[in-house]
Amino acid sequence: MKDTVKNEKLNKWIREVADLCTPDDVYICNGSKDEYRLMIDKLIKSGIAIPLTKRPNSFLFRSDPSDVARVEDNTYISTSSREEAGPTNNWIAPGDLKKTMMDLYKGCMRGRTMYVIPFSMGPIGSPISKIGIEISDSPYVVVNMHIMTRVSSRVLELLGTDGDFIPCLHSVGAPLAPGQKDTKWPCAPIEKKYISHFPEENLIWSYGSGYGGNALLGKKCLALRIASAMARREGWMAEHMLILRLTNPEGKQYHIAAAFPSACGKTNLAMMQPSIAGWKCECIGDDIAWMKVGADGRLYAINPENGFFGVAPGTSYSTNPMAMDTLKENVIFTNCALTDDGDVWWEGKDGDEPAHAIDWKGKDWTPESPTDAAHANARFTAPASQCPVICKDWEKPEGVPIDIFIFGGRRTGVVPLVYEAFDWEHGVFLGATAASETTAANIGAVGNLRRDPFAMKPFCGYNMGDYFKHWFDMGDKLGSKAPRVFYVNWFRKSQDGKFLWPGFSDNSRVLKWMCERVDGRVGAHKTPIGLLPNEGDLDLSGLHLSADSMKELMSIDLTAWKAEIPDIEKHFSTFGKRMPERLKKQFQRFIDALGKHV
């Protein structure tokens, strides 16, 4: 190990974890193609990975039915005081949580190999990137981390003898006795699952789950929960945002970062193909943005990830053709159905549903079956480099300059198609009050209104009152060079329950208006909630949308907006004394503006 790992702190930590978890073997990952193949062969041999004959170098996995999604109730932000974690996080005192988890970790890797995974979030060596080391006993985690992060021996070289890294410890929590046969998906029962973050120490401990962001610790754990706390301390931003480049017919580039809660079309927008002639959209990232102020005073963003971990159900050539083209080879599918001809299938996929398939639980399925063939949270893990519209600058070490921030949510009424914030402070108010009506994909009864500030509620690693203040601080730092802020709602419905806006590629029309606002080429009219497009300024050429539908899409019902006030008040009150005064002033400004328009 000494030959491979020259970093003393890392050597010491590897020894400590090995002594605690007692694996049968220790393997230092190097990120090579041979290593990936070695892990996949191991997973095929154990019956966990199913090769897909229809897709080269692609494999299907089926998780345990108890281990299918993020476990928000078992996710903890452990800080020195409950107040630091804030009201949106589950809190346990660090001493108590560490004691519980140390007991669980004792001997937890018995019968397994301990993998040491050196990875970079962001291009290796970028000034915006961070280095993490994940220790895991799951080869499934190794292959997914290969795709989702930059796993490489170069990371160890960059660390040198005294470089710093974020330690990420993970175990599926299923030790094996001598001769004991492993299960197809080893994991611990729900009451023993812990996804724990210690932001004051930049430390992540996960136990009991082998699925998604619970186990791929570079994803939400590091890239958002720990990174958001680091960003606040260090003066940058870690946000739950897609990043795209839009180029107009004259060749001018605009970079847009957008935050939406789940089930609001984030990946679709990141890979959108504009329906307006001459405009081009390229994807830089579909989920997370890390942003720092550059030498010119502007905000520069990188996508810290290396792949897409997307929801499969609902993805099709009609909803997201570029995602479908990304999935032709070199993909890991989890909890999709297996067709008789050796391909994957999920609800909403193009073409006829199969006459027979093996469902995500490994059981026979036909169209007459009472349950879905794929789990609602079935996933694909695919290299971002395979996306046909990946931007040539997506790995630029210094990042791309952000012109526009977009917030949004799924609202069947009240919120118009698009409006612009009056200024940065008003933009923070829009982000802080962002709300979505719940769907099956997120928490809560379907149709309930859920406030999800900045789409960060499940991912902010500290008190969100302080997080709001950090947004104001960043605005102060950026001054006149701050991105413009907009709010969108693609999901408004007519009285008879039909979507008013076609969405998908036609969302480019709304983005075009934003770019023209940035350039000062179109005006807007002031309303109590923000700046709305003037009639005729949205490019609707070739779109068969009635004047009545457009009018309804842009209408503002002041009574309905006033009805939002008690809910916003309740939402803001949860942050108590950590609530920034500037946000309170914005709320009062909102109330006053509505009052003037009785």
**Known catalytic residues?**
264
Angle at 330 between CA 222 and CA 154, to 5 degrees: 50
Q: 102 near 207, Cβ under 8 Å?
A: no
The dihedral region occupied by 503, where left means phi > 0, alpha psi between -120 and 50, and beta the remainder, is left
Residue type, 188: A
DSSP, res 76? E
Query: Following CA atoms 100, 106, 109, 113 in sequence, which dihedral angle do they give, to the nearest 10 degrees?
Result: 120
Q: By three-state DSSP, how is residue 43 classified?
A: helix
CA–CA separation, 170 vs 206, rounded Å?
A: 5
Q: By three-state DSSP, how is residue 419 classified?
A: strand
CA–CA separation, 405 vs 402, rounded Å?
A: 8
Q: Is residue 523 exposed (0-12), middle (13-18) or buried (19+ Cβ within 10 Å)?
A: exposed
Spatial neighbors of 583 by CB under 8 A, at least 6 apart, are 428, 429, 432, 468, 472, 572
> Is residue 118 within a helix (H) or strand (E), and if so which, with residue range?
strand 113-121
Handedness of CA 101, 107, 113, 116 (dihedral sign): positive
Angle between helices 464-478 and 424-432 (to 10 degrees): 160
Q: 108 near 175, Cβ under 8 Å?
A: yes
CA–CA separation, 487 vs 267, rounded Å?
A: 17
Name the token pair of 137.
């006993």
Secondary structure of 487-546 as H, E, C letters: EECCCCECCCCCECCCCHHHHHHHHHHHHHHHCCCCCEEECCCCEEECCCCCCCCCCCCC
Name the token pair of 205.
């401990």
Residue 118: closest CA among 108, 110, 129, 109: 129
Upper half-sphere CA count for residue 406 (Cβ side, 13 Å): 30
Q: 511 near 519, Cβ under 8 Å?
A: no
Name the token pair of 552.
């309804």
Q: Is residue 340 exposed (0-12), middle (13-18) or buried (19+ Cβ within 10 Å)?
A: exposed
Query: Following CA atoms 8, 12, 14, 19 in sequence, which dihedral angle do they give, to the nearest 10 degrees?
Result: 160
CA–CA separation, 496 vs 348, rounded Å?
A: 24
CA distances from 427 to 258, 381, 452, 482 (A): 13, 33, 15, 11
